[in-house]
Structure formats: C-alpha cells, structure tokens
Structure 1
Amino acid sequence: MRKNHIKCLVGITVTTATALGAAVVPSAAAAPRDLVVHPGNSIQKAVNAAAPGDTVVVLPGTYRESVLITKPGLTLRGTDGRTVIMPAATPAKATKTTKVANTCAANGNGICVVGTKTRTVDDVHIRALTLSGFKKSGIWASWTDGLSVRRVTAKNNGTWGIAQERSTHADFRRNTATGNGDAGIFIANSVSEEGGATDTGGTEIRENTLTGNRIGVTARRVRNLLIDDNRISGNCSGVFVVGDESKPAAGAMTISGNRIIGNNKFCAATPRLSAIQGSGIVLTGSEATVVRSNVIRNNVGATPLSGGILLFKSFVGALNTNNTITENHVQGNKPADLANRDTSGTGNTFTSNECGTSAPGGMCAR
C-alpha cells in the first residue's frame, strides 16, 4: 500500500487515494502520509497537520521560521543540503493564541522537539536539513526518547548546533556542526538546574563532523552513552566530559574510534571554566569512562586544559575515578600527549597508548 501524499499549497490541501483502484475504507489506524512543503509555505503548519507516523517532506529552498514538534513518531525530512532553515526576518512575538507555536522561535532555536516529564515525545526523526544563524541552537530537544538526527548541518548558531537534555536513547549520526558558539553536539542532564548525572539509555553520537565550534562534543552530567567514529577538528576542544560533586557522577561512557586533530582555536575563559585551546579529550569529574582507540594529534595550547588526553578536576573539585585510557594513538600534542592533572583521583589507568610525552612521565607505551 502506498503512503498517502499531501501537498501543502497556499491554503489548499490535496490528498491522493491510498491504493490504486481501491475503495477508501475507514480504519482505526490511518496509513502514514507524506506532507510536502514547498518554498514559501510553512513547515510548522505541515507539522501541526501531521499525525504520528507521518513524514513532513520539505523541498529545497530557504525557510525562515522555527519549528516546534510536540507529537511522537514524526519524520521531518529535507533534501540533503538544499533545504535550509533560518530565523524569521522579523521574529514572531508570543501571544495567548500563538504561545505554543512560537516557543521555539521565542527561545532562539531552529527546530525544537519538546515533551514533558510525564509525557516524553518519542521516535521523532530529523533528516537532511541545514539549520543556520539561530540565536541559540539549531536543534533543541528536551524530554524525548528515541530522537534520531541524521545528515543535518547545524552551522553558525549562537550556542549549540544540536543539543539535548533530559532525554534517552538518542541517535546523532552523520551530521555536520560547524561554527557554533558552544558545542557542536551537546548532551546534558538539565541546563536549568543542578543535579546528578542522568542515564541517557545508550545515546549514540557517531560518524559526525564537528569543526570550528567552541567544543566538538560536550557530555555534561550524563552517563551511559557512546561517542564513536567522529571527525573533530578546528575547535577549542574536541570532547569534553563535565561532571561535578553530585551523585551519580558523570561517566560510564565510551569514547572510541574518533579522529581528534588540531583543535587549536582559542576560547576565552568563562565564569565556570578556564580558557581552552589545544584540548583533545578532557575528563572532569568522570567515573568509569573508557577512552579507547582514538587518534588524537597536534592539539596544541598553553592553557590548563591543553593536551591530547587529560584528566582534570571539575570546576567544583570533583575527582576522576576508575577511568580507562587505552590503545589510543596520541602524538604531537602539547604540552603533553597524556596528562593526569587530577592526581588525587583514584583507579584511573593509562595502558597501551602510543604517545611521545606524558605528565607525569612514564604513561606512554612507546
């Protein structure tokens, strides 16, 4: 059976039959449909008209709006890099009648997938779009489960390229994040309150290209995720794991198979963090994290956080414990390829790493 197709024209909705030559028979569950958005029309209106299981297909063009998704099972799909979403020329103002529709725009984001603590938004797929120039994030997600973002380009956004909090089982794959003010990909427990690390349920960040951001990937106060096979260069720092004294601690994650090269952009200090430059992978306040089989080269800087792979106390002094750094190729990083600047931490091991320099010495296999 074919999908239904809906073309969103100027004030007109056109549907086609569900099957050639077949009578339309009412059913409890309607067949999934494609809702096609043409340049000049509203993506948000198509999303509002969609039902769980439907796909909103956005044709090539530039669309100046923000899009809020609050229903499960939707797919929002562009056409490779030719579907571009940018901020509205005149930002919309929220009113009593437009508050929900404009929440995403009012907060300065491009696409928002937003649920609640009691009802997450599940199984939303975002594909093949470019999001550029938003004040805050290209994609922002909160209270979601099973969010999948693939082949998306998030560039030149004010804070994060692709960001998620309070969410589980996400899949961020084959995306490009470049020129964003903070992290290219940002995963957190919550951005609005303090608290222990939350379990992401195995969120995966894989095969992405992350360049020219403040940080390539930030994992803040989260546990149980995979950061694998990404290409990370030209940022101030490649991967940054942030923990604090809250329990459970951040960690229980795997950082593997990444190429983290030449992250030598300089980023000035913030109220909670020293200046960053030349940082490959930084663990602060992390426990039971495995850093394995990464290629980390030519990350050079003179800040306290500079170096190839380093352990560092968190901003509030939380220690790193029981982390394993093994079988990495770490060369040409300065001031050191491997640096343990958290010598009060316990159970941290450096084994079988191919490197030239370490601080303290003796941690390189050759």
Structure 2
Amino acid sequence: MTNRQIKSLTCIAVVMAAGLGVLAPSASAAGRRVHPGDSIQDAVNSARPGDIITVMPGTYYENVLITKRLTLRGWGAGTVIKPPVTAVTPTTPTTPTAPGTPVAPAPGASGAPVAPGASGRALACSQADTGICVMGTAEQPVVGVDIRSLTVSGFKRNGVWASYTDRLSVQRVTAENNGTWGIAQERSTRGLFRDNVARDNAESGLFIANTVEREGGATDTLGAVVRRNTLTGNRIGVTVRRVRNLAVYGNSVTGNCGGIFVVGDEGEPGAGDMTIRGNRIHENNKFCKGNSRLPDIQGVGIVLTGAEETVVRSNSIRGNVGASPLSGGILLFKSFVGATNTDNVIRDNVVRDNKPADLANQGTGTGNRFVNNRCGSSVPAGMC
C-alpha cells in the first residue's frame, strides 16, 4: 500500500469517526453534573463563567444563588428544587427545647456558603426563601445566565428572582406554589421567558418591573420577551410594571384572578411602548381579595392602567366574568395614583362573553383607539 493510499484511508477513518460522533468533545463543552445528595450551590460556586451545570433527576432542598454567567439546566419535570429542610438543634435530655427556638440551617440552606464576591443584597435574596436568585449589581450586571428544564416549588417568597441582569434566559421552568411571584425580574434588560409554567403562586406567575424597592419612571427592557408560557391559578398571570419596550405573546393565561396587567404611574418616562399579542386569555375567574394597591380581582382579561403607546392585538379573550372594578375583557383603567392611559391601540382581538363588558375605556386618557375588535359589549357603547 502506498503512502498516498495510507493517508487517504486515514482521512476516511477520521471523517467516519466524526460522523459516528466518537471524536473527543471540544473544550467548549465544559460542564459538571449534580446528583441527588449533592449541593447545587457548591457546583455553582466552583463553576467557571460559561460552564454548564446539569442537575440530574431528584429533589434538592436548597436555595441557589447565581452571580456569574453560566447555564443551570435540569432534567425536565424530574428535577425539583424545594425549600431547605431545617434540622433541629441537638439538645440534652435535661434541657428541653422551648417552642420557637431557632434551628440550624440544613446543608445547602440559606446559610450555606455563596460565591466569592457575592453582594450583601444577593445574599439577602438567597436568605429570603427564594428558590433561585440571579443577582448582579448596578455597576456590573450579570450577563447571559440560562436557567432551564427544572421545577422550583413551595418557596415562601419567589420561585426564580433576578435583579441587575442582562440577557437572562428562563425556559421550560415550572414555578409553582410560591408565596409571592413564580418568576420575577427587576432592573434588568433583554430577558427571555419562554415555555415556562407558572401556577398557583400567591401573586403574579410572571412579573417584570423596573424596581420593587421604590417608585419611579419606567425603564427600558431593551426588548424583553414573554412568550409561550402557561399561567394558571395565580393572582395575576403576567404583570409588567413600570417598564417599556417588550413583547408579551403566545401565552396561555387561564384560571387566574386576573390575566395580564400593564401597570404605570405618574413617573417619567411612562410605562408602555410594548406589544401584547396572540395570547389566549380565558376564564380568569378565580377570586382574590383586594389590598392597599388594588381592589378585589376576579374575571379580568387585560388591564392597562397608566400605560402609553401599547398595542394590544390579535388576542383571544373569553369568559372573564366578575364584579370587581377591574373585571371584563380589555379594560383601560385610570391609575390609582392618577396616571392616565394615552395613545394605546386595541385592535383585531376576539373579545367575547366577558362581564361586565368585553371592552371598557375608563378615565380621562386621550389618543386611545379601539379598531376592528370582535366583541359583544363595550363601555362606553359603540366600540364593538
């Protein structure tokens, strides 16, 4: 066999090996796996920026704090993160523990070590009974975190909470039975929230805001996307509060007290400049008692309050029925702090069987247009 033939056979062997997938993985495939009994937080702390952490099927009782770029992915519904289980402080038989005595945190609980350089605010997030915290700072937002294919369940505060992030991606995550929000983000840009399930959370299933610590003008999300999520059994399916420049589309919102809320105030710039389209918002007829900010909520499809330049189009909004001031299909409602709705466009929606009305335009805002909607009733009359 000639040298040329040997070289030719060698090349063929390499090509065949590549086609069969037997070549060694590249260095860019760096990652690590976490198994039941391991600590997710330990893996996060020791990861390098850009690493992939795969959490194998099982239930993990801990809070997770992320302050660097990485991917945290589970194994679908089989990967579940729940609140830490506390361990009773050992006592001697002659010294019984009084009721209410503090107990030590379990391994991986909120008192567990966190990543070097984590801010006090980031640590506080982890200690506040939230499942996964993604925390940057104003000076250095955390960029490119990807969370996917896992469940966060039963936390006293939030399932997933993010602050000072850019390009955060949360996909195929189930956030359920959490005491405030299912998946929430503030002070952040270019977030992607897609194909998630948020159910039975005490407040919003998905919540995007400028900040939760103070009032103020709306911030630019630089094109955040809330897409193809399933929101059910929450107080509100999706809330976008004091933000601008994002899209909410293709979501299924049903069985909540309210469907989608766009919330602004008198701050500048105003909230809005967003698109809400192609959503299915049906029978959000659960009853939620009012609070200091909102009246009772029941039978709410889409509410714009203090919003501007928002387009609501091509949504299916059916069977939202209630007796709240906010009840109905699509409602433009004057903000409780006096901000009006201005220059919003409501068009090409199917709005049927909502009560007290399919469409309602309240308050003194100007420039709002209702165009080509298929509906049966409106306040004032004549918009259908």
Same fold (TM over 0.5): yes
**Residue identity opposite 1:76 in structure 2:** L
Which 4+ stretches in 1 moved above 2 angstroms?
19-22, 91-105
Count of matched residue pairs: 338
Question: Counterpart of 1:68?
Answer: 65
Q: Which of the pair has more CA radius of gyration?
A: 2
- Is the 8 Å Cα contact of residues 150 and 174 (structure 2) preserved in structure 1? yes
Question: Counterpart of 2:326?
Answer: 305
Task: Map 1:146-225 onto structure 2 (within 5 A).
Answer: 146-225=167-246
Q: Deviations over 1:328-350 (max 9, x none)?
A: 000000000001112x1000000
Q: Does 1:49 align with 2:49?
A: no
Question: Counterpart of 2:250?
Answer: 229
Among all aligned residue pairs of Structure 1 and Structure 2, give the percentage whose two residues are the same amino acid.
63
- Is the 8 Å Cα contact of residues 67 and 115 (structure 2) preserved in structure 1? no
Question: Counterpart of 1:354?
Answer: 374
1:208 shift after superposition? 0.3
- Is the 8 Å Cα contact of residues 45 and 115 (structure 2) preserved in structure 1? no
**Residue identity opposite 1:131 in structure 2:** V
TM-score, with length taken from structure 1: 0.89
Task: Map 1:285-304 onto structure 2 (within 5 A).
Answer: 285-304=306-325
Q: Deviations over 1:132-190 (max 9, x none)?
A: 00011100000000000000000000000000000000000000000000000000000
1:105 shift after superposition? 3.2
Question: Counterpart of 2:273?
Answer: 252
Query: Structure 1 71/93 Cα, relative in aligned 2: closer, same or farther at 3 Å?
Result: closer
Which secondary structure state, in structure 2, belongs to the residue aligned with residue 336 of structure 1?
Answer: coil
Which secondary structure state, in structure 2, belongs to the residue aligned with residue 246 of structure 1?
Answer: coil
Q: Does 1:89 align with 2:89?
A: no
State how far apart, in whole Å, the 2-side matches of 1:187 and 1:123 are: 17
State how far apart, in whole Å, the 1-side matches of 2:125 and 2:71 are: 18
- Is the 8 Å Cα contact of residues 161 and 184 (structure 1) preserved in structure 2? yes
Query: Structure 1 96/150 Cα, relative in aligned 2: closer, same or farther at 3 Å?
Result: closer
Query: Structure 1 256/93 Cα, relative in aligned 2: closer, same or farther at 3 Å?
Result: closer
Q: Does 1:143 align with 2:164?
A: yes
State how far apart, in whole Å, the 2-side matches of 1:239 and 1:37 are: 37
1:94 shift after superposition? 4.4
Question: Counterpart of 1:59?
Answer: 56
Aligned-pair Cα RMSD in Å = 1.9
- Is the 8 Å Cα contact of residues 66 and 104 (structure 1) preserved in structure 2? no
Q: Does 1:40 align with 2:37?
A: yes
Structure 1 residue ranges without an equivalent (≥5): 1-18, 23-29
Question: Greater share of helix residues, 1 or 2?
Answer: 2
State how far apart, in whole Å, the 2-side matches of 1:321 and 1:103 are: 39
